[in-house]
Amino acid sequence: MLTRLRHLTTLENLPRECIERLLDRSITMRDACAHGTRKLNLLNGRTILNLFFEPSTRTRTSFELAARRLGADVINFNISFSSTAKGEELFDTLHTLEAMHMDAIIVRHKVSGTPDELVKHAMSGVSVINAGDGDRAHPTQGLLDALTIRQHKPDFSRLIVVICGDVKHSRVARSDVHAFSTLGAKEIRLCGPAALMPEASELPACTFYDDFDKAIEGADVAITLRLQKERMASIDLPDEAAYFRAYGLDTRRLAKAAHGCLVMHPGPINRGVEIAPDVADGPQSRILEQVGNGVFVRMAVLAEMLAR
């Protein structure tokens, strides 16, 4: 008997059965919603807190929608109008909100490891879900990316995935690598300029490239990443036009990938920097499908943790 998840802070070392169970449950959620069941009532009486210390469009909105579809109450904590702006420390904020009887806290924070610190300090019975911490992990994004791929290319053992761009600062890239390697991907290629690549020892399951034309050859999935300037102290980068020529995904480059290569991006996209507009909006793009899958994956994660 598999134990249910209490917290979700990273996909690293999460067993394959657990990832597959969450993906299967996401499909159940998708099918229920497709049949017009907008309210599943699995989380009636539960209260979920969205605690985002960094901006978000997709993750925050889809967690809120997922929680509401499951029948939970949702509090969207507004940092700039909260007592955080008056200097209240993170754990005092945590305990204050817990005193109002939250069942789960969904946290995004610029400091890597913050969700695990909250797990250590949270009251028993309160679940913590990482919605992105620094450059470390974004587990629900890793799951929704795996789900999107699985819907089109279910056999991961045949899959060549290329992830191109600012890999060094990308929590999405790390969670994608953890998900795809656990699911048995044949090859995961990471590509970008040297200044934007992590240490090879950090992600031993991957092969490293600095030439996107070579990295994309024969790929079944191409994931492009934006330049995360908010996490760069001082990196000497070419201007955006030169960056696009070297690392942008355009139709010429996409033609080098395998037939039917899926084009993915976690968003937000910067058109003409890491991806050409006609590729982002083209027939191989799965970018908006990723967004839609985010709701089903987050429903699955919340139900796994909180359904009675």
Which residues of this chain interact with ligand CP, rule CB under 6 A? 56-59, 132, 138, 141, 266-268
- The nearest distance, CB 141 to ligand CP, in angstroms, is 5
CB of 253 to ligand CP, least distance (A): 23
Residue owning tokens 């699995």: 42
57 exposed, middle or buried (CB, 10 Å; 0-12, 13-18, 19+)? exposed
What is the nearest approach in angstroms of ligand CP to the Cβ of residue 236?
26
Alpha-carbon span 101 to 123, nearest angstrom: 10
User: Toward ligand CP, which CB reaches closer, 8 or 42?
Assistant: 8
In the complex with ligand CP, which residue's Cβ is closer, 111 or 255? 111
Cβ proximity to ligand CP, 108 vs 189, nearer residue: 108
The CB-of-227 to ligand CP minimum distance in angstroms stands at 14
Q: Are 248 and 273 in contact (CB under 8 A)?
A: yes
Q: In the chain, which ranges are E strands? A: 47-52, 73-77, 104-109, 127-133, 160-164, 187-191, 206-209, 221-224, 262-264
Q: How far is the CB of 154 from ligand CP (least distance, A)?
A: 23
Residues sharing a CB contact under 8 Å with residue 128, sequence separation 6 or more, in sequence order = 7, 8, 9, 104, 105, 107, 115, 118, 119, 122
**Tokens for 172?**
């999405």
Structure token pair of residue 305? 């943790």
Closer residue to ligand CP (CB): 109 or 138: 138
Q: Which is nearer to ligand CP, 59 or 181 (CB)?
A: 59
